[in-house]
Structure 1
Amino acid sequence: MWVNRIKSSKLELKLMLKVASSGFICILIYLLLINLAVYYIDHMNVNSEVYHEKILNTSQDFQNYITENEVSIKDISAIKAWDKKQNLTHIKLVDNNKVIYDSLDYIVRITPKVSYIYYAPAKNPFQVITFRDGEASLYVTILFKQRIEQRLDYIIGIFCVLLFFISIFSEFKKLVRDILEIKKGIQILEGGNLTFEIQSKRKDEITDLVNSINRMSKELDLQRKEEEILKQKNYDLVTSISHDIRTPLTTVNSYIDLILEGKYSDAVELNRFLTKIKEKSILINDLTDNLFSHFLNQNKDYSYNFETIIGNEFIIHLLSSMEESLKDKGYQVVIELDLQDEFFLKVDIMQIERVFNNLEGNLIKYARKSEPIIYTASLVNNNLYITGNNYILENNPLDSHGVGIINCQEIIKLHLGEMRTFIENENYHVIITLPVYLFP
């Protein structure tokens, strides 16, 4: 447990390493510059005559202070009080070859080798100071090199400290810049551009965060696209089933009108009308159940229920049913069958019925009653070919053909077949191809 507590993150380690390395480099630079400064000071030439007047003035000021305050030669505290007010001036009092006061004595004790040089007049190396109770020799030194050394120490120290903070701030600036880039990227993602990818060249938790955000945006974009696809599928499904329901519903209404108007010859024909109504009602019920099941099962795609059936009987049933319904509505229909050999189809019966239901609906809306509607079915090279053609009504834009035909083509495609439609010289052609099986 305690190991996890002291374990640092990659970002923490990186920042600590940056601070440590910057501090170490700045210390090395400081030591190097200090040594260079000391070397320069120790080897510089200074004209001592420049400081002759300063030394004489300092000696005279000290004598005036001793005289005015009647200072004893043994009163070291009074001597030190005057010495503290001097600026980079070193004094040493000697009595009978014995040093009684040295203003740099504390420095000599701490640092044996001090970088300063005494500069005294060549003819008068010392000044005799008269105290209340005796005399002592005063030696005055102007600490010129000490002054330069102190200033260089100060400048080099400030430079190295600034260099350290600049190095640290540059790292934090990069960190802040990367955080702002992440913030900008998140704002772009919030604006809806989920394909935008945030870039990061770091190798720490910031990059891990960027990668997490990019993965999340990709997941959201994928989810959004899936929702759009699902929404479109739902729209297509509702549209196609609504289109499919209209045809059998129109047929039901047509047969009901025939029955109500008494347009049947005998009880047999009446029973046939009722049977047609029953068949179309079952088809409507199946289509609505399909729609309800789709939404009930969390909008999943329709699962095709394929089964192997006798193809001859099924195709004859579909074409005969369509022929009968169209003739009842006054259309001329010709069905030509070339299906002598028995074959089998692997189909979803309800979906294939939807295809022929759409074909029948389009014929009712767009075919001419004055021209025959011709449908043929034949076997060629283990394929079932169903063709249909009819003359379309004049000035017919055929706009509403799209929804039903597109869905029919998709259904046939899922049965490993093909459905093509085209118009030539006002003649509408349909060609459907389905694979057949000679043995179940």
Structure 2
Amino acid sequence: MIKKNLSLSMKIILLLLSSAILAVLCYGLFRVNVTDFYDFVYSIENPFDEEQFLKDFKKEAKNISIYSENKNDKKDLKKLLRKHDAYTNVYIYNTEGNYVDGSFGKVLDESVGFTPIYILKSDFEQYAFNNFTNENIKFKDGEGDVYVCSMHLLKYIKYYFYCALFVSLLIFFLPTFIFIRKKVKYINLLKQEVLNMSQGDLNHPMTIKSHDELSVLAREMNALRTILDLNYQNEIKIKEAHYELITSLSHDLRTPLTALRGYLDILSLHCYKDEKQMDHFLQGCIEKTEQIKDLSNKTFEYALVFEQDLLPKLETIQSDKFIQYFQENLEYLELEGFKVEKETDICAVDLQLDLSMMKRMINNICSNILKYAKKESPVYLEISIKQGNLKIVFENEKKKDIQQIESNKIGLKSVKRIVEMHHGQFFVQDLKNTFTLIITLPYN
């Protein structure tokens, strides 16, 4: 759970802290084991042969005076003491333990270079100065204790130090480098996927990794891709529906218009036998006009369903006026041979409705009843006030040959759209033999 709440910057900070701790521990491990490194050097080779050095020193010491104040004797002593390499120190003490003379290795005179690096390096080198050998040697004028300090390990310790420093820095920088490189690769992947989106590829989902700002960005881009793809698919469907509607209307309008023009030509030329035939042609004109009206209604319903920016023009309407319009349509159903059973339980309330849309909704419901309902069975209507809503329920029994009736379901879609635009609820239960429609509309 903690990982999910970490930001990218916090991850980098924690990674740097962890890497720094590991680097310090690694450096400390190298530092602790420096004596083991010295033992390893001595196991493969002897950097300095103390015995041979003292043996050669003894041979020449017999002819050198260490207590004489003569300048030549002092020069000879200095000359003897300097016969060593740059990594060796030689000291002479008398039998009483007093310092007589000595010579230091030239390695101690070398420049230290960059101070912080020298301080770290000198910490590794401190054990390299502890290799002391001493022996009592006879000189020309007496005996003296000769101390030989070997610093030859300094030749090797610098490589060990630089190795420790390199490994520690590698442990410090490498995890951060790998982490950042991984994030950069992920950013490049997201960039390529965004470019693919810009070129129209909306089917490929965005890659979502880890739990930081980049994954949030990927999720939001994926949500945007989904919305764009959905809008694109809806646009395609709307274009197809537009094309089908125009094609269908142009085909459906041609037939009644042609027939209407023929009837009107006959009537205008008085090409009928008697008044009865004239009434027949007039009735034909009325029927074709009704067909054209129905087709124009379909156009309005289609625009209502698919027009996204259409808003209702609300006005205050009393419930009595709304029910009266229902009553007019129910009377028309009864004239067409339907039996309507009504149950009205409503008090006088003010409704905020677009009356033209409500009339369209009622017309569509009644048109569906005319088209699909069975005349032999009653149509049930309930209008009531429940829980602060105006509730309308239609229920009817369906015709047996309903599958043969051509329909594009646009009527019910327009009803649903009108109800939703008035912040109401729309429910349909379409069973094998019965059809139930429930509409609820809020009121003030």
Per the shorter chain, which TM-score range? 0.5 to 0.7
CA RMSD of aligned residues (A): 5.7
C-alpha contact 2:131 2:149 (8 A) present in aligned 1: yes
Q: Equivalent residue for 2:221?
A: 213
- Distance in structure 2 (CA, Å) of the matches to 1:191 and 1:125: 96
Inter-CA distance 350–71: structure 2 relative to 1 (3 Å threshold): farther
Q: Equivalent residue for 2:104?
A: 102
Q: Equivalent residue for 1:37?
A: 34
SS in 2 for 1:212: helix
**Residue 173 of structure 2 is aligned with which of 165, 172, 197?**
165
**Residue 256 of structure 1 is aligned with which of 264, 278, 283?**
264
Inter-CA distance 47–123: structure 2 relative to 1 (3 Å threshold): farther
- Distance in structure 1 (CA, Å) of the matches to 2:309 and 2:90: 105
User: What does 1:63-78 align with in structure 2 at a 5 Å threshold?
Assistant: none
SS in 2 for 1:218: helix
SS in 2 for 1:379: coil
Q: Equivalent residue for 1:63?
A: none
Q: Equivalent residue for 1:155?
A: 163
- Distance in structure 1 (CA, Å) of the matches to 2:341 and 2:194: 62
Offset of residue 17 of structure 1: 2.0
Offset of residue 28 of structure 1: 1.0
Offset of residue 19 of structure 1: 1.6
Inter-CA distance 412–27: structure 2 relative to 1 (3 Å threshold): closer
User: What does 1:11-410 align with in structure 2 at a 5 Å threshold?
Assistant: 11-41=8-38, 50=49, 87=86, 89-92=87-90, 94=92, 97-99=99-101, 101-103=103-105, 114-118=127-131, 141-190=149-198, 192-259=200-267, 262-266=270-274, 269-270=277-278, 273-274=281-282, 276-277=284-285, 280-281=288-289, 284=292, 287-288=295-296, 291=299, 295=303, 299-300=307-308, 307-309=326-328, 314=333, 339=337, 348-349=362-363, 378-380=375-377, 382=379, 383=396, 405-407=406-408
Inter-CA distance 230–251: structure 2 relative to 1 (3 Å threshold): same
SS in 2 for 1:234: helix
1:213-250, CA deviations, whole angstroms, 9 ceiling, x for partnerless residues? 11211221222233233333333433443344234213
- Extract unaligned runs of 5+ from structure 1: 1-8, 61-69, 129-135, 318-338, 360-375, 390-400, 421-431
Inter-CA distance 27–137: structure 2 relative to 1 (3 Å threshold): same
SS in 2 for 1:91: strand
- Distance in structure 1 (CA, Å) of the matches to 2:286 and 2:136: 142
Offset of residue 255 of structure 1: 0.7
Matched residue type, 1:155: C
- Distance in structure 1 (CA, Å) of the matches to 2:206 and 2:270: 75
1:324-345, CA deviations, whole angstroms, 9 ceiling, x for partnerless residues? xxxxxxxxxxxxxxx496778x
Taking structure 2 as the reference length, the TM-score comes to 0.55
- Distance in structure 2 (CA, Å) of the matches to 1:155 and 1:127: 49
Inter-CA distance 147–270: structure 2 relative to 1 (3 Å threshold): same
- Distance in structure 2 (CA, Å) of the matches to 1:126 and 1:176: 75
- Distance in structure 2 (CA, Å) of the matches to 1:29 and 1:117: 25
Inter-CA distance 180–299: structure 2 relative to 1 (3 Å threshold): same
Q: Equivalent residue for 1:428?
A: none
Matched residue type, 2:406: I
C-alpha contact 2:330 2:340 (8 A) present in aligned 1: yes
Matched residue type, 1:102: F
C-alpha contact 2:267 2:278 (8 A) present in aligned 1: yes
Inter-CA distance 10–49: structure 2 relative to 1 (3 Å threshold): closer
- Distance in structure 1 (CA, Å) of the matches to 2:259 and 2:72: 137
C-alpha contact 1:115 1:145 (8 A) present in aligned 2: yes
- Extract unaligned runs of 5+ from structure 2: 1-5, 60-70, 113-118, 312-321, 343-358, 380-395, 416-427, 438-444
- Distance in structure 2 (CA, Å) of the matches to 1:379 and 1:308: 20
1:3-40, CA deviations, whole angstroms, 9 ceiling, x for partnerless residues? xxxxxx92222212212221221111111122112245
SS in 2 for 1:178: helix
- Distance in structure 2 (CA, Å) of the matches to 1:127 and 1:226: 114
Matched residue type, 2:281: F
Inter-CA distance 53–386: structure 2 relative to 1 (3 Å threshold): closer
Inter-CA distance 172–340: structure 2 relative to 1 (3 Å threshold): closer
SS in 2 for 1:406: coil
- Distance in structure 2 (CA, Å) of the matches to 1:127 and 1:187: 93
1:87-134, CA deviations, whole angstroms, 9 ceiling, x for partnerless residues? 5x1234558724565348789x98895433446696869999xxxxxx
C-alpha contact 1:11 1:205 (8 A) present in aligned 2: yes
Offset of residue 48 of structure 1: 8.4
- Distance in structure 2 (CA, Å) of the matches to 1:250 and 1:125: 144
1:246-300, CA deviations, whole angstroms, 9 ceiling, x for partnerless residues? 3421330231243356432345653663464356346535644763685599725
- Distance in structure 2 (CA, Å) of the matches to 1:71 and 1:288: 134
Matched residue type, 1:223: N
